Amino acid sequence: MFPSLAIVLTLGVAGLLGARALTRDDDPGVNVERHEPRPVPAVTKPGGAPSGAGRPVLGAAVEWALLREPGSYQRLFLQHYSSLTPENAMKMDALAPTPDGFDFRSADALVRWALDHRIAVHGHTLVWHRQVPAWVTERDWTRGELRAYLKRYITAVVRHFRGRVRSWDVVNEPLTARGSLRRSIWERVLGPGYVADALRWAHAADPEARLYVNEFDLERFGPKSAAMYRLLRALRRRQVPLDGIGLQAHLTPQWRPTGRELRAIMRRYAGLGLQVDISELDVAVGPGDAALVEQASIYRTVAAACRRLPQCGRFTTWGFTDASTWLGSAQRPLPFSSTGVPKPAWLAIADELGP
């Protein structure tokens, strides 16, 4: 459907974009001016489609401090994306900065903005070993105390966003590279049962929310993806409420699956009756045009695997412009350049996930 990426690069990405005049569905509820100098290929996916039905929803992690400002970041996001994951605004250090209660102000503003613009919000993340506030990590908890606190935290947060945040990363990164349970504060103090407990508490707080375990480095065969399969299977057998697994997919040219490998892994998880979403995709590359071609082929592999699996309902990248990424702009890991120009990676996504 698209000219080859080599030609794209030869002629310059920007010059070719007029070849495909598509934008995200015009939606009267989306109040943005069309700013782009020329049409950009788009995935054309209105928000709110139930996962598993048709094409995956296209999402990106966003920084609320940038998104809230009218400007190019906001416009680019609204033009192309139907789902967002708050990159930091819903982590425990943001929502429970002190022992005295919750601070929902930023997260509420973000959710209000998203829903006003018909963008679905994927909650991230309830239980993780990082971004836990110091008042939690520094305190000497008994098991009973910390278990009661985590239950209170999950219950309050999920209830607060009930009906607005329809899916959650309940447990993030529970495994080590070798496939054992990570020795986080949760595992050390609460024991391995914390994973099932967290899922049950979240389900009790909002029975409609779709609940996920989210993890990195599952995209290739190895001890970690095998251990995740066993963990998910055990949770399913015990009828713990669980709807899906998020494959983070922080990839590089050195750490990348083949299409066959990724499809096999995703099908295996789907065989457990789970959604298998791409939750944090980015592809760090060095400088040079050749790197962008290789990057696009990795994006294409992941997008094609997601497109071909009915249970892959969400294709989310961890950011969308190289101007804002946890990896630093020099790694150029995202589909749009620092100045908002679509890269070959975007063309590959649009080609695989577009109409």
Q: Which is nearer to ligand 9MR, 17 or 157 (CB)?
A: 157
Q: Which is nearer to ligand 9MR, 74 or 248 (CB)?
A: 248
| Alpha helices by DSSP H, the chain | 5-11, 13-16, 64-67, 72-80, 92-95, 105-116, 134-137, 143-160, 185-190, 194-205, 223-237, 259-270, 289-308, 344-353
* Bond prior to 325 in cis (omega within 30° of 0): no
Contacting residue, 280, 322, 351, 352, with ligand 9MR by CB under 6 A: 280
Q: Residue 154 and residue 312: Cα distance in Å, rounded?
A: 26
For residue 97, what are the contacts with CB-CB under 8 A and spacing of at least 6? 103, 133
Active site residues: 173, 280
Chain length of the chain: 355
Reading the block at residue 59, the tokens are 């999402």
Tell which positions 134-173 bind ligand 9MR, by CB under 6 A.
172
Q: By CB under 6 A, is residue 2 in contact with ligand 9MR?
A: no
Q: Residue 339 and residue 355: Cα distance in Å, rounded?
A: 26
Residue nearest to ligand 9MR (CB): 326
Q: By CB under 6 A, is residue 88 in contact with ligand 9MR?
A: yes
Q: Which is nearer to ligand 9MR, 58 or 281 (CB)?
A: 281
Contacting residue, 12, 69, 70, 131, with ligand 9MR by CB under 6 A: 131
Q: Which is nearer to ligand 9MR, 311 or 316 (CB)?
A: 316
Q: By CB under 6 A, is residue 322 in contact with ligand 9MR?
A: no
Contacting residue, 326, 329, 338, 341, with ligand 9MR by CB under 6 A: 326
User: Which residues form the interface with ligand 9MR (CB under 6 A)?
Assistant: 87-88, 130-131, 172, 248, 280, 326
